[in-house]
Amino acid sequence: MTTQATAEKSAASASVPKQIQEYIIEVVSDSGEGAQKCGQTFGSVSGKMGNGVWTVEIIPAEIQPPARSPAGASGIRIRLGSKYVTNMGDEADIVVAFNEQVLYSRIVNGAYKAGTVLLLENKWATDPQPEIQKQYADAVAEFREHGLIVHELAIEEECLKIVKNPRKGKNMFVLGMLCRMFSRDVQLALDEISATFARKGPKVIKPNHDLFNAGYEYAAENIEYYYEIKPESEVGAKPTVVTNGNTAIGLGVMASGMDLVSMYPITPATSASHYLADVYHLVGGFVHQAEDEIAACAFAIGSSYAGKTACTITSGPGMALKSELLGLAVMGEIPLVVVDVQRGGPSTGLPTKIEQGDLLSTMYGMPGDAPKVIMAPATISECFHYVITARKLAEAFRTPVFILTDANLATGVQPYDRPEVSEEWLAAPIDQSAWDKNVPPYDWDENTGLSPRPIPGQPGGEYVLTGLAHTTRSKVAYDSETNQLSCQHRSRKMAALAGTLKKPDVYGDPEGDILVVGWGSTMGAIEEAVDRLRDEGHKVSSLHLRFLSPMEPGLKEIFGKFKKVMTVEVNYSDDPNGPLITEENRRYAQLAILLRAHTLLDVDCWSVVYGAPLQPGIIHDAVLGRLEKLN
C-alpha cells in the first residue's frame, strides 16, 4: 500500500472513533530520537485520563548505537486498557517506526503478529544512497510477507515544515498522531509537553506544541485508525501516582526513613539512585557514589553500624562483588537494605534486559551459613512499600534484607494508589541513652535469636564488631560450642520471622489440576494467563510469593490440593525434552529448586531467558503444554 493509497483510504475513514477495550502500541526508533519520551508522555496522559497503562522501555545496551542498526532498537511499548493493566501483554497491535531496520530485532523478539499495523517513516524510500533504498524496499516486502499491515508515512517531510532538524521533534509529531488515533485529551498532552520543556522555556515549548498539533491534524486527515478506550474507573476517584519501579524504590527509600544510599553505577539499577540524587535533599538524605561496588556496600554497612540503617542499590554483578561484605552483615548482625535490580547473567550478561537469575546467589552466594531475609515485590506499588518494610525488618531482626526487583519492574511504568505517607514509616532517632553494661552486644534470645544492638555513642555499650566467630560479648572465639550456638541463633531469627508471615493467597480456585507459582515482576502476566486458561475451562490457579527467605508458610498444604505444581520464572532451566536431559540431570529453575527442597514435592518448572518480560500468551501456551501431558 503506498502513501497515496493510505491517504485515499483514510479519507473515507470514520469520523467517530471505534470503541475498544485495550490496545498495545509501540514506538521504535534509533537511539536518541525520543521514542521513549513520546511513549512516556502518551502513557502519562492516558494515566491521567483514568486508563489502565503499562509502559515498558525498549533499550539498546549502547548509548548511541549506529543509526539504522537492526540490533539498536530504542523505543517504548504502551499497553493501554479500560481496566487496570498489570503487564506488557502479547504482540503489539500497532507500531510506529522511524526506520525499518530497528524493527528486525523486535520481530525476532516476537513483538508483532500477522495483522499488526506498521506506520513507517517513508523517507528511506527516496534516500540518496541506493543501498538504503534497497534495504528499505526489501524490508517493507519482508514485513508484508510476515503479515504486517504496512503504511508508509511522510513523517519527516511533515516535520520539516515546522523544524529544521526533524531528528529532534519527530517524536512530538508522532505523539500528536497517537493522541488523535486514540482520542487522547489534547490539553493534557500539551500541558505535559510544556512541563517536559519547562526549564528550556517557550522557545522550545512552542515548536514542540506545533509539532504535536501538526501530528494530530495529519492523523485526522491521513490515518484511518481512530479509537477510543474509555476508562472504567472514574477519573480522580482515588489519588494516584504514576512511576516506574526504580523511582518507586527511590520514593520508598525516602519514606522508609533511610537517609543514606551508597551506590556504584550499574545498569539497570542506577536510575533509582539518579532519582534520589535529585530529590533526596527533601528528606535530608545523601547519595554516596562510591569508588566501587565493594566500597558502596562497606560504606552502607558502616553507616548502619553507626545507627543509621542504610541502603545499597545494585544489580547482579554488583551483588557478586558485595557478597563478602553481605556475609559480614549477616555475621555482625548489621541491619542493611540491599536492592538488587536483576538483569541477565552470568557475568556481564544482558545489562539492560530482564532476568530473575539472582535468587539462588542471593540466598546461598556467601561462604558458610548466611541466613538473610529476601523479598520480591510483584508490582511497582510494592517496590515502594517493600523498602519501608525492609528497613523495619532489618532493624527488628538485626539482619540484611534483600529486595529483588528486575529490569521489567525498573523501567515499567504504571499508575498506582498514592501512598499515604506516615511518620511511623520513618526511622526512630538514634538511641544515645546509657547501655546497661550487663547486657552483652549479642544478647541472643534463646527462642528467637533476636538481640538489641548497642549504637556508638551509647555509654556502656562499647563493643568491637567482628566478622570472626564471636561470643555474646562479641569476643573472638574459635571454640566449637560458640560457633554452633551463634550460627543457631542467627538461623533462628529466620524461623521467628517465618512465624509472623501470612499464608499466601491462591489466585483462582484453591484446588485444581495445575498451580503456577511465580515471584517478582511476572505476576501480572501469570495471572492474565491463568484467567485465559480458566476462561477456556482449565483448572489452573496461581500463587505469587513475596517472601523467598524465609518462605511463606503453608506451601505444602496449598500445593497438595493440585495435581501438579510448576513455577514460571525468567531464569534458565533445562527443557525436560532436550538432548541428554533426564530426570536425574535436569537442572530446574531457581524458585523450583527451593520449593522442591522446601516441600519435598515434585515441583516442575517452565522458564526462559529471552531477556524479555514474560508475555501472558507464552505462559498460557507453556501451562497448556503441561496440562496436555497431565491428562
Q: Report the alpha-carbon distance of residue 59 to residue 80 in Å, rounded.
A: 20
C-alpha cell at 622: 507453556
Which CB atom, from 388 or from 570, has the smaller least distance to other proteins? Answer: 388
- 292 is a contact residue toward other proteins (CB under 8 A): yes
Which CB atom, from 251 or from 605, has the smaller least distance to other proteins? Answer: 251
Q: Which of residues 3-42 bind other proteins (CB under 8 A)?
A: none
Q: Which amino acid is at 95?
A: V
Q: Of the candidates 35, 95, 177, 260, which one interacts with other proteins according to CB under 8 A?
A: 260
Q: Of the candidates 288, 539, 561, 626, which one interacts with other proteins according to CB under 8 A?
A: 288
Q: Of the candidates 42, 197, 299, 559, which one interacts with other proteins according to CB under 8 A?
A: 299
Question: Starting from the edge strand earliest in sequence, which strands make up the sheet with 400-406, in order?
Answer: 286-289, 260-263, 311-314, 336-342, 400-406, 373-375, 547-549
Name residue, grid cell 515546522: 162
Q: Decide: 604 and 565 in contact? Cβ < 8 Å.
A: yes
- Of the listed pieces 89-97, 284-292, 371-379, 581-589, which binds other proteins according to CB under 8 A? 284-292
Q: Which amino acid is at 424?
A: E
Q: Of the candidates 107, 154, 205, 426, which one interacts with other proteins according to CB under 8 A?
A: 426
The 10 Å Cβ neighbour count of residue 208 is 24
- Of the listed pieces 417-425, 518-526, 576-584, 597-605, which binds other proteins according to CB under 8 A? 417-425
Q: Report, in Å, the least distance between residue 311 CB and other proteins.
A: 12
Q: Which of 426, 431, 429 is nearest to 455 (CA)?
A: 431
Instruction: Produce one character per residue of 486-503: b if its CB has 16 or more CB atoms within 10 Å, e if not.
Output: bbebbebbbebbeeeeee
Total number of residues that touch other proteins (CB under 8 A)? 69
- 466 is a contact residue toward other proteins (CB under 8 A): yes
Q: Of the candidates 243, 356, 362, 541, which one interacts with other proteins according to CB under 8 A?
A: 243
Q: Which residues contact 398 (CB under 8 A, 6 or more apart)?
A: 333, 334, 335, 450, 451, 453, 493
Which CB atom, from 323 or from 541, has the smaller least distance to other proteins? Answer: 323
- 323 is a contact residue toward other proteins (CB under 8 A): no
DSSP 579: T
Q: Which of residues 91-150 bind other proteins (CB under 8 A)?
A: none
Which 3 state secondary structure label does DSSP give 93? coil
- Of the listed pieces 44-52, 74-82, 263-271, 401-409, which binds other proteins according to CB under 8 A? 44-52
Q: Report the alpha-carbon distance of residue 629 to residue 250 in Å, rounded.
A: 45
Q: Decide: 264 and 298 in contact? Cβ < 8 Å.
A: no
- 84 is a contact residue toward other proteins (CB under 8 A): no
Q: Of the candidates 34, 39, 47, 616, which one interacts with other proteins according to CB under 8 A?
A: 47
Q: What are phi and psi of 19, to 5 degrees?
A: -80, 125
Q: Report, in Å, the least distance between residue 440 CB and other proteins.
A: 14
- 460 is a contact residue toward other proteins (CB under 8 A): yes
Q: Which of residues 474-533 bind other proteins (CB under 8 A)?
A: 475-476
Q: Which of 349, 268, 340 is nearest to 572 (CA)?
A: 349
C-alpha cell at 349: 550478561
The 10 Å Cβ neighbour count of residue 363 is 18
Q: Of the candidates 25, 148, 190, 328, which one interacts with other proteins according to CB under 8 A?
A: 328
- 242 is a contact residue toward other proteins (CB under 8 A): yes
Q: What angle do CA 207, 75, 518 make, to 5 degrees?
A: 140
- 395 is a contact residue toward other proteins (CB under 8 A): no
- 277 is a contact residue toward other proteins (CB under 8 A): no
Q: Which of 71, 122, 72, 114 is nearest to 96 (CA)?
A: 122
Q: Which of residues 303-322 bind other proteins (CB under 8 A)?
A: 303-308, 310
Q: Of the candidates 215, 285, 345, 371, which one interacts with other proteins according to CB under 8 A?
A: 285
C-alpha cell at 341: 535490580
Q: Of the candidates 35, 178, 298, 627, which one interacts with other proteins according to CB under 8 A?
A: 298
Which CB atom, from 349 or from 452, has the smaller least distance to other proteins? Answer: 452
Footprint on this chain of other proteins (rule: CB under 8 A) = 44, 47-48, 239-243, 247, 251, 254-255, 257, 259-260, 262, 279, 281-286, 288, 290-292, 294-296, 298-308, 310, 324-325, 328, 415, 418-419, 421-423, 426, 430, 454, 456-468, 475-476
